[in-house]
């Protein structure tokens, strides 16, 4: 069966209830309140122990421009290479970087750096871990979390946990919403929503036209909602207490409570 056979298009009106509970237009995703509980799944990052110490992604980029292996970026009269910093951050879905890279837990980097997951009142995003960066750029030894999408490993694990803690299991009817930002369009009259079953939700990661995990995934009975905001490095899961406790206790995912963002 093809992707479209498993995931049919659903009407935009399927998001009306999300718009109401989030009190938002969903441009970057509909952020739900606790239902009645919530936790944040942190996007994966990785570390390579043999990468050069003290070297940043921006250092590498500038060296490549200098030796001609990378082109200068000029827009009008502005030399973007000189005026901007290559941070090493990425947007969209991501896989494990490959041989030599290991999962770097946020908790480990918090202990190492002294920076919190996010300062109180803020959410995990590109501003996290400022002391780790070198003049605003990440060291090449770390592949930072991607923005706006869960990594594949975390997405697949989250789907399996949702199956395990939903009454209908893999047969749970659910819907997925993709932000217009992911489609390169701002059409809020025709929101992109697809319907299927939870057991097929891993396939949503490889949507043939979209390079992100869904902005929102939710059970048709509205018992739980997942939100990956386009601007964040973490995914909020709102639902019953037993589901949230399972997320927090899981050894593969890295999930935390953010009391100011429940």
pLDDT digits (tens, 9 = 90+) for 37-94: 999 999 999 999 888 888 999 888 887 877 777 555 654 555 556 667 889 999 999 9
Rg of the chain over all Cα atoms, to the nearest angstrom: 19
Is residue 56 within 8 Å of residue 139, measured between CB atoms?
yes
Q: Taking Cα atoms as reference points, which of 44, 45, 43 lies closest to residue 229?
A: 43
Short-list 104, 189, 89, CA closest to 147? 89
The last residue of a domain, from among 116, 141, 166: 141
Q: Are residues 37 and 78 in the same domain?
A: no
Range of the domain at 18: 3-42+148-261
Choose the final residue of a domain: 141, 164, 187.
Answer: 141
Query: If you ran DSSP here, which 8-state letter would residue 175 be given?
Result: E
Least confident of 57-71, 154-168, 172-186: 57-71
Reply yes or no on whether the pLDDT at 185 is more than 90.
Answer: no
CA 258-259-262 angle, to 5 degrees, is 80
Tokens of 3: 């992707």
Looking at the structure of the chain, the number of domains it has is 2
Shared domain for 51 and 130, answered yes or no, is: yes
Contact 79, 72 (CB under 8 A): yes
Residue keyed to tokens 């919190």: 116
């Amino acid at each position: 069966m093809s992707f479209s056979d498993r995931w049919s298009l659903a009407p935009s009106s399927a998001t009306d209830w999300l718009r109401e509970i989030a009190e938002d237009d969903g441009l970057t995703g509909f952020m739900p309140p606790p239902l009645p509980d919530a936790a944040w799944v942190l996007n994966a990052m990785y570390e390579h122990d043999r990468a050069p110490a003290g070297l940043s992604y921006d250092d590498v980029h500038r060296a490549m421009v200098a030796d001609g292996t990378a082109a200068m970026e000029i827009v009008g009269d502005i030399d973007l290479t000189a005026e901007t910093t290559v941070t090493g951050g990425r947007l969209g879905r991501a896989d494990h970087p490959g041989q030599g890279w290991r999962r770097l837990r946020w908790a480990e980097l918090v202990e190492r750096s002294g920076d919190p997951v996010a300062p109180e009142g803020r959410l995990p995003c590109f501003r996290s871990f400022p002391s780790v960066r070198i003049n605003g750029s990440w060291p090449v030894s770390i592949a930072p979390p991607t923005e706006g999408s869960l990594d594949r490993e975390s997405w697949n694990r989250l789907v399996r946990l949702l199956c395990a803690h939903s009454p209908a299991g893999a047969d749970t009817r659910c819907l997925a919403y993709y932000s217009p930002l992911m489609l390169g369009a701002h059409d809020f009259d025709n929101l992109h929503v697809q319907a299927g079953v939870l057991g097929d939700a891993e396939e949503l990661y490889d949507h043939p036209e979209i390079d992100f995990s869904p902005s929102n995934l939710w059970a048709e009975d509205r018992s739980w909602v997942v939100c990956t905001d386009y601007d964040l490095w973490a995914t909020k899961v709102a639902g019953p207490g037993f589901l949230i406790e399972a997320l927090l206790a899981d050894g593969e995912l890295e999930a935390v409570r953010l009391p100011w963002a429940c």
